[in-house]
Structure 1
């Protein structure tokens, strides 16, 4: 058993699904995340160990206004979706998504095997998120992150 600050990532509790509004939650429902950065007490950036079963998606295609994101595939194969199209990423391959670049991205597991990856992002607030394929954004309203409709600014329940 490792001693702090070391730890076994498989002992970190998992969090399943997403916080998306119900109408958009299905594709990420079986995704699990282990919040390694939180477990280790990190404050400036997050690190997640993410597991995607066959047919599941990392997120809805999105981009961040202020936060950088980085992913590295650990096991399996994942299809990276961006404005440029699709490409398959295998173990050891990485992708970087600079803050403020309006190029939505997501990973999808189109194989019959479970895939895992590391996800790293900074914690710059008040970050906002745009979902270019649907009528949704994340906006900060009265100090709270809210899912809103891009078309008219109304809240999702």
Structure 2
């Protein structure tokens, strides 16, 4: 029997959290590449500030992010449904429900790609360390986390988008 959770409860159904309104902060031409994903910011729903938890759906053909690594942020993923391909700058691995992967800061560049005909659903968890930077080995893009908590994107030579 389903249990009703009252408004303001300390628990909620993850799929009841509305998807993020803006699918990505990337500038074009990168924004369109991640249009095949839908993120529900679960940590934000509880006012969690030190780390983020997203329930992310990758539609067929979708990418989780550009191939990237963080300078200070650690990331962790846990696959709930589907079989995405974990692409790194070292190898590719097909993941299945119950599989997980972790990415320490300054480690391998990584992304998930859905090369199947079915949706992929996974949890992603990352900290929100101030001063973090993102690097993208295959794209002319750099990112810095601003003091306002928003990502600021430039070309690799430093010119803004």
Q: TM-score, normalised by structure 2?
A: 0.90
Equivalent residue, structure 2, for 1:9: 14
- Are 2:99 and 1:93 equivalent residues in the alignment? yes
Shift of 1:142: 7.5
Equivalent residue, structure 2, for 1:64: 70
* Structure 1: segments with no counterpart, 5+ residues: none
* Structure 2: segments with no counterpart, 5+ residues: none
Q: TM-score, normalised by structure 1?
A: 0.92
> Which one has the bigger strand percentage?
1
Q: What do residues 63-113 of structure 1 show as CA deviations (whole Å, max 9, x unaligned)? A: 000110000000000000012221100001001000122x21000000000
**RMSD between superposed Cα atoms in Å:** 1.5
Equivalent residue, structure 1, for 2:136: 131
Give the Cα–Cα distance (whole angstroms) in 2 for the partners of residues 27 and 116 of structure 1. Answer: 18
Give the Cα–Cα distance (whole angstroms) in 1 for the partners of residues 158 and 45 of structure 2. Answer: 35
Give the Cα–Cα distance (whole angstroms) in 2 for the partners of residues 154 and 61 of structure 1. Answer: 20
Equivalent residue, structure 2, for 1:18: 24
Q: Is the 8 A contact 2:36 2:61 kept in 1?
A: no
Secondary structure of 1:55's counterpart equals: coil
